[in-house]
Structure 1
């Protein structure tokens, strides 16, 4: 990661001068002012103009557009600068007077997130020193530290999701969580293997993972700081690879299925980051992990599965496996952990992207306050979501003649009906639950603002913002 520091002193290296949406330049001289005047959209958030200055100091100027100069504009500017900078050259960013702490947080997050590279990629992550030049460094120290922890957690979620599934089986993922938890005082982790899952009745997780040579796991990660009065349970879908099972996917449909555990990666990373930030809220993250494979031991369409809470599910499509593992985790969370709030994140349906496109997650909740707070946290974090309904008259689509419910009805409204299926396992917590269907925004096809091509780590930043403001 970039080494970002706050200082009142000028540093050597490429100078970065912010330009707001009206074309007002922070610092500079007549030469740079003329470049701003003649460039097209110089102040647009994320636009970068490069001015070479051979034989002069600094040798290069980057004019970075910050748009409305809000947190999102500064985040976009930071990401664009990270991609424009040459190699590991030092950067000297001249912050304007009276810049807000939120804007500094956005800039730092953008620099770190835009500079991300997958840890196993041929090129290492950028490692330049970035100096944020300001007369009052102490005013922004907390914002910078929050940005650092948030970006590091997002990097972790991206790394976990980008890792090829030949490496990333359930046992490997669980091992990564154990290793990360070991470095953080106060964080505890429990890993249930196949024998314990069978003994405790996690039928959905066992069914989905039964066709794979790599058995399933359930990871339970806990942060319980002294004095915490509220308990939040985060549940993330953790399918480490999804063939579709007996209802096999097409080749194109399988290519990116290493991302089918992005929800688990997000809730694990957010919980670890909450401990790093010492947030005063009790958090339990549940990551049901399984590989949905094809074999003689794989579960079949038409099978009846007994979930953790004793309810039965008719599996009508083995490619609707995520809701089966989530149902076990949600039922367990409500009955055994006594949560005040339950939030689940899942790469659950392709219908999400049909309705909302590639950058927006679907939000479901019966609690107007919880839905509004999550949406506001997502907007501040740069992670869009849109609330969709939970119509009670669609519950009939779940009816089965041989079980308590179908797993995958065919009447349409795929994302909505999947959310209604999950709601059936919330017991008396249906009014304190939110579901985020985030399959589409969990992956970026190209670099885009603070996203880099590949896994996005979607949800980590939203969860941390929400936990910091509403968790305690």
Structure 2
């Protein structure tokens, strides 16, 4: 990550960025420059370049912060390329710095050169914002990790590779432990074994734990980890399949958020569960109509092999309920196409019966710049999952797909149903366009929301 520094000194040799639309004082703006800004009037441009060849600094960027400091930061870093900058700021340092780092993200194996030039945040109170800058860096670094994991091509990103990456990252953080369940260790994980059975790469489940002293709340995070989804025997279309390296974005987000929580020293116990498999086609692939036994001993008729994510999540949820005794369970998954149909490309679907948990997650999402909309869990739709040969079937024909998938998962919570939230992030996990704080490709969606939520449990924001 390129360096961002706090300072109270201006350097006339660097490009200066002046925010407009800010309510805070900008004591470093000289009178002549202030007159030029005022003469512009109400300009909608996110970034305006003022070139002043006969005065210093020689170049001034005006950044409109009214849409938000995070979006402004992303616009600034893209406009500037790799030139050093000094940005005048007297508020919202965390959001601005997050935007700068998020907008400056480059996939680690891409051909485009990453930014290296430093950025100075010029403020009259650098000591006040030191903690905010540190928080921003940890959140942005976690989002970069989630994006890197998701952007990695699936010929590299087999389940064992993902497990090794997470194990390596955890080893650098005292207090974080990783256990990989594989082979005989997933004998009871019938959904995970079925989904991974068609691939030559073995499925596994990564269990990461953070147990800080003094923690009084135990949160279990579950992330769907399908490293590539062909649809199995219910094969996807070409268009539907080409981005399916991102079907493990939920696992990437919960892993990155847990590591970031450890970096922040949050006094919240976290167990992150990441069931990992490749959904492939072969003679050993599971079939529509098969009946599998899930971790909790119940049975599922697999009516569509492209509804595989709920099968692996169900096993992880059953594992959490049986042996972890959590206070809260939150799962993130790129689960259904109907989430995008209902809410579009930028808003995830939130399902929970717990009003307090819904409010806390939505508030965390707002602070992180990641939107969610709460959806219903109507009991009468449970009949859509009725099977004649098993306790349930995995995917009905017709009906509200995202809602029914959430109801399927709810079946595995038992007495913990009122402690659980499910987030369907199928569309927001990937972007086909350049958005304010994302680039084309994986967005790392959910990483910062989870981190803000966990921080709030520890009394912070």
Asked if 1:77 corresponds to 2:72, the answer is yes
- Kindly report which structure 2 residues correspond to 1:402-413, keeping only aligned pairs within 5 A, or say none: 402-413=389-400
Alignment-derived partner of residue 49 in structure 2? 50
Q: Deviations over 1:387-423 (max 9, x none)?
A: 0000000011111000000100113100000000000
The alpha carbon displacement at 1:76 in A equals 0.9
Match of residue 166, structure 1, among 131, 155, 161: 155
Distance in 2 (CA, whole Å) between partners of 1:257 and 1:36 is: 49
Distance in 1 (CA, whole Å) between partners of 2:81 and 2:369 is: 26
Q: Deviations over 1:25-50 (max 9, x none)?
A: 772543564355336635x6xx0001
Asked if 1:93 corresponds to 2:82, the answer is no
Q: Is the 8 A contact 1:232 1:471 kept in 2?
A: no
Number of aligned positions between the proteins: 457
Q: Is the 8 A contact 1:23 1:37 kept in 2?
A: no
Q: Is the 8 A contact 2:303 2:393 kept in 1?
A: yes
Q: Is the 8 A contact 2:337 2:426 kept in 1?
A: yes
Asked if 1:59 corresponds to 2:58, the answer is yes
The alpha carbon displacement at 1:57 in A equals 2.9
The alpha carbon displacement at 1:135 in A equals 1.7
Match of residue 142, structure 1, among 131, 135, 140: 131
Q: Deviations over 1:93-124 (max 9, x none)?
A: 1124xx2xxx1100000000000010010123
Alignment-derived partner of residue 41 in structure 1? 43
The alpha carbon displacement at 1:143 in A equals 0.5
- What's the TM-score, normalizing by structure 2? 0.96
Asked if 1:20 corresponds to 2:21, the answer is yes
Q: Is the 8 A contact 1:2 1:111 kept in 2?
A: no
Structure 1 stretch displaced more, 296-305 or 9-18:
9-18
Q: Any idea what SS the aligned residue of 2:275 has? A: strand
Q: Any idea what SS the aligned residue of 1:440 has? A: coil
Distance in 1 (CA, whole Å) between partners of 2:270 and 2:353 is: 21
Distance in 1 (CA, whole Å) between partners of 2:201 and 2:136 is: 36
Q: Any idea what SS the aligned residue of 2:119 has? A: strand
The alpha carbon displacement at 1:56 in A equals 4.2
Structure 1 stretch displaced more, 434-443 or 49-58:
49-58
Alignment-derived partner of residue 184 in structure 2? 195
Match of residue 425, structure 1, among 397, 412, 415: 412
Structure 1 stretch displaced more, 13-22 or 432-441:
13-22
Structure 1 residues 296 and 48 mapped into 2: Cα distance closer, same or farther (>3 Å)?
same
- What's the TM-score, normalizing by structure 1? 0.94
Distance in 2 (CA, whole Å) between partners of 1:15 and 1:364 is: 45
Distance in 2 (CA, whole Å) between partners of 1:138 and 1:175 is: 39
Distance in 1 (CA, whole Å) between partners of 2:395 and 2:144 is: 33
Distance in 2 (CA, whole Å) between partners of 1:465 and 1:259 is: 23
Alignment-derived partner of residue 226 in structure 1? 213
Match of residue 396, structure 1, among 383, 401, 409: 383
Alignment-derived partner of residue 119 in structure 2? 130
Q: Deviations over 1:361-406 (max 9, x none)?
A: 0000000000011001101110000000000000111110000001
Gaps of 5+ in 1: none
Q: Any idea what SS the aligned residue of 2:206 has? A: strand
Q: Is the 8 A contact 1:235 1:287 kept in 2?
A: yes
Match of residue 456, structure 1, among 403, 418, 443: 443
Q: Any idea what SS the aligned residue of 2:358 has? A: helix
Distance in 2 (CA, whole Å) between partners of 1:338 and 1:451 is: 36
CA-based RMSD: 1.7
Distance in 2 (CA, whole Å) between partners of 1:33 and 1:430 is: 60
Q: Is the 8 A contact 1:25 1:33 kept in 2?
A: no
Q: Is the 8 A contact 1:231 1:281 kept in 2?
A: yes
Distance in 2 (CA, whole Å) between partners of 1:195 and 1:39 is: 69
Asked if 1:384 corresponds to 2:371, the answer is yes
Q: Is the 8 A contact 1:237 1:262 kept in 2?
A: yes
Q: Is the 8 A contact 1:79 1:113 kept in 2?
A: yes
Q: Is the 8 A contact 2:81 2:115 kept in 1?
A: no
Distance in 2 (CA, whole Å) between partners of 1:33 and 1:437 is: 49
- Kindly report which structure 2 residues correspond to 1:207-356, keeping only aligned pairs within 5 A, or say none: 207-356=194-343
